[in-house]
Amino acid sequence: MTDLITIASAGLTARINPLGAELSSLADAAGREYMTDADPAFWSGRAPLLFPIVGALVDDTLRVDGQGYHMPKHGFARRSAFVLAEQAADRAVFRLEDSAETRASYPFGFALEMAFALSGMTLAMEATVHNTGDAPLPFSFGYHPAFAWPLPGGAAKAVHCVLFEADEPQPIRQLEKASGLIQPDSLPTPVAGRQLALDPDLFRADALIWSELHSRRLSYGADGGAWLDVAFPDSPMLGIWQVPGARYICVEPWQGHSDPVGYAGDFGDKPGVVTLQQGTSRSFRMDVTVRPV
């Protein structure tokens, strides 16, 4: 079993697994846990990093310049061993670089750095993708944290909600259940103004997907209980997901999403894919601030 890396502030303690650089625990000074219980009856993930793709590809195939490469859902970062590049009492940085193994499915030179830092009641996370190769680097990136539902503090599960920064009246997208690909038709939004009332029935057909999101921050929680304020200034898309009945809700800022059903183009041409020129980098922040009862 991989030893977890622990960082702490006066208000919070975070534990990170170097396998996938995955946030495994976020607890306050009273020991209350704000992350999933990872019950394997539903889903054993905690907060995988989605790289170099978000979601699924047609036939699990990454197409680059006419060549096909096998790439499983959400990419390989979540199953890769990161190197601990930096550690202090309140900060840790993990790094993954390309290898013969990654190039077999993703023929590019890259480095992915994942930084975690605690200050007071805020966990700041920043993923930075570097193009270390000799060709343009196409990629997508996403966060996938599973927060406790209900949050600690005593509020009932049924009264938890998501409050967006802005009104979100636009239609949403959903996935084809069998393939995990984006369905061609959109659906009316379940958001009333800025509020999404959480109900397990919302997720019977899988995730809710906002491919054109107005907000870059939201709050998740319940009146009379704890809240989490989540900021994601660099991510224009969002998924919210759970397995119905589970004790978590995933709030997932994304840059990119699954292939649309029937997509046959090059990976680099897909909407949501970023292309970095040689020697350049791009970062994606996600800050989580805990407001306990």
> pLDDT of 240-265, one tens digit each?
999 999 999 999 999 999 999 999 99
pLDDT tens digit sequence for 67-87: 999 999 999 999 999 999 999
How does DSSP assign 130-163, residue by residue?
EE-SSS-EEE-EEE--EEESSPTTS--GGG-EEE
Task: Indicate the pairing of strand 248-255 with strand 195-197.
Answer: unpaired
Tokens of 229: 């304020």
| Coil vs helix vs strand at 114 | strand
Is the confidence at residue 32, as pLDDT, over 80?
yes
Q: What is the pLDDT of residue 243?
A: 96
Is the confidence at residue 2, as pLDDT, over 90?
no
What average pLDDT does the chain have? 97
d(CA 55, CA 183): 13
pLDDT class of 102 with cuts at 50, 70, 90 = very high
Q: What is the pLDDT of residue 267?
A: 97
Q: What is the pLDDT of residue 177?
A: 87
Is the confidence at residue 1, as pLDDT, over 60?
no
* Residue 61 exposed, middle or buried by CB count within 10 Å (0-12, 13-18, 19+): middle
pLDDT tens digit sequence for 268-279: 999 999 999 999
Q: What is the pLDDT of residue 126?
A: 98
Q: What is the pLDDT of residue 235?
A: 98
Mean pLDDT of all residues in 93-104: 98
Q: 1 CB contacts (<8 Å, ≥6 apart)?
A: none
Query: pTM of whole model > 0.85?
Result: yes
CA-based end-to-end distance of the chain:
34
| All domains of the chain in start order, with CATH | 5-291 (2.70.98.10)
- Pairwise pLDDT comparison (100 vs 178), residue with the higher score: 100
